A = this chain, B = another copy of it.
Amino acid sequence: MSSSASPRILNVDKIRKDFPILETSKNGKRLVYLDSAASSQRPDSVLEAMDDYYHTTHANVHRGVYSIAENATALYEKARVKAGKLINAPKPSKEIVFTKNATEAINLVAKTWGLVNLGESDVILTTKMEHHANLVPWLMLKEQTGCRISYLEIDSNGELILDDIESKFDGVKLLAITMASNVLGTIPPVKYLTEMAHKNGALVLADAAQFVPHRQCDVSDLDVDFLAFTGHKVMGPTGIGVLYGKEELLDAMPPFLGGGEMILDVTLEGFKTNEIPWKFEAGTPPIAEAVGLGAGIDYLTAIGYGAIGEHERGLLDYCSNSLKTTFGEKITLYGPKETTKRTGLISFSFETVHPHDVAQILDDHNICVRAGHHCAKPLMYRLGLSATTRVSFSIYNDTHDIDALIIGLVQVVEMLG
């Protein structure tokens, strides 16, 4: 067991001081936050960056000639470059579009590239472990265009079944795939599948919402065509998401929303669109949120993906071992067996206790876990479940959090088991 694995890699006690919410308590019990996959907490440097922006610089961007407006624009565009560099985008200032969240980023592609490029004979290939954000936009597109959607199956470990994969690409125009399942933690072989897709003339959209917070993401290496992630899961604020798209694709796409900023000219009859990325950013963008996201990215990269990954793997091992040792047959853990094949989260279920009740009783211990379908109902149907309980880790979690979890779960089983 690796009970001391995490302290060796990250100084969690020091990190926690940057996150004031983790110092709060309820009925004398400190907050144990094990729901970072839903939304991470953010260090104070993020809030300070936003407050500082509002205190010294705020003005609307791209349209002002005066100094604070210029500075606001520069800060906003700098955040864009930072977001692009985080995922190694070749041309960050053109290929990064700020959206309101990852969901909007994926919808943007569906409603621009998708509407123009897909027809009745085309197929969107996806998987049975997608988050609704990477599924419902395609189901809507299916309604609009008559295209078909096909699904890669998963095996009992929650890994994609890749047998006979070449044949799955028949008629496929787009592979829309998660880079890390928010329920199972599974990390599919996106680079391999992208090669396969490209060989078969399909593009690839990667949903990296659960990947970017945990692992180094390199779009240049992966060669995916589109990629989405979301600010509030990478220590940034709510209200901002990121779409990466290859320059030539973004260039060729029709605009998404109409309004200020996305146009070059408007007459009573029509309009000319602006250059990328602004073509896709109608209206006043999330300026302060971009600044905050930049600070979140700085914090994350200062710690480094190497340490983050190692830390999380340590917690994963510790947690799954503790769960299995404590609850044996009573508990089922989902997802890949090997920790190297997954991100830092564990979904599990008890035979006799519903996840909602698990979360409710844990809340009495001030422990935050997620219970439900995790916005992945098709996966739930596939697993034959209506819900699971999920615990997820970030840099501010340590083995004490997991020990508290186990104590709480013991009481759950006592009460309702």
Complex alpha-carbon distance, A311 and B402, angstroms: 58
Contacts of A285 in B (CB 8 A): 101, 238
Contacts of A372 in B (CB 8 A): 63
A237 touches B288 (CB 8 A): yes
A282 within 8 A of B: yes
A327 within 8 A of B: no
Complex alpha-carbon distance, A50 and B44, angstroms: 12
| A325: min CB distance to chain B, Å | 25
Interface of A is mostly: mixed
Contacts of A371 in B (CB 8 A): 65
Given contacts A258-B107, A267-B381, whether A59 and B39 have CB atoms under 8 Å apart is yes
A257 touches B381 (CB 8 A): no
A64 touches B35 (CB 8 A): yes
Contacts of A381 in B (CB 8 A): 267-268
A136 touches B266 (CB 8 A): yes
Given contacts A101-B283, A268-B378, whether A51 and B54 have CB atoms under 8 Å apart is no
Partner of A59, one of B38, B47, B239, B260: B38
A363 within 8 A of B: yes
B135 touches A26 (CB 8 A): no
Residues of A281-332 contacting chain B, CB below 8 A: 282-289
Contacts of A230 in B (CB 8 A): 283-284
Contacts of A258 in B (CB 8 A): 103, 107, 110, 132-133, 135-140
B368 touches A66 (CB 8 A): yes
Q: What's the interface size class on A, roughly?
A: 35 or more
A31 within 8 A of B: yes
B-binding segment of A184-192, A345-353, A354-362: A354-362
Contacts of A369 in B (CB 8 A): 66
A377 touches B237 (CB 8 A): no
Complex alpha-carbon distance, A378 and B367, angstroms: 56
A131 within 8 A of B: yes
B66 touches A267 (CB 8 A): no
Contacts of A377 in B (CB 8 A): 263, 265-267
User: Given A26-B67, A66-B363, A137-B259, 12 more contacts at CB 8 Å?
Assistant: A35-B69, A38-B63, A39-B58, A41-B54, A54-B237, A63-B372, A103-B283, A104-B283, A136-B282, A139-B266, A237-B288, A238-B239
Question: What are 5 of the A-B contact pairs (CB < 8 Å)?
Answer: A65-B356, A230-B283, A238-B287, A239-B239, A286-B289
Which A positions have Cβ atoms within 8 angstroms of B? 20-21, 24, 26, 31, 35, 38-39, 41-42, 47, 50-51, 54-60, 63-69, 99-104, 106-107, 110, 128, 131-133, 135-140, 143, 149, 151, 230, 232, 237-241, 255, 257-263, 265-271, 282-289, 356, 359-360, 362-363, 366-372, 375, 377-378, 381
| Among all A-B residue pairs, the 10 with the closest Cβ atoms | A103-B283, A136-B258, A239-B239, A103-B259, A239-B286, A260-B375, A133-B259, A65-B359, A38-B60, A100-B100
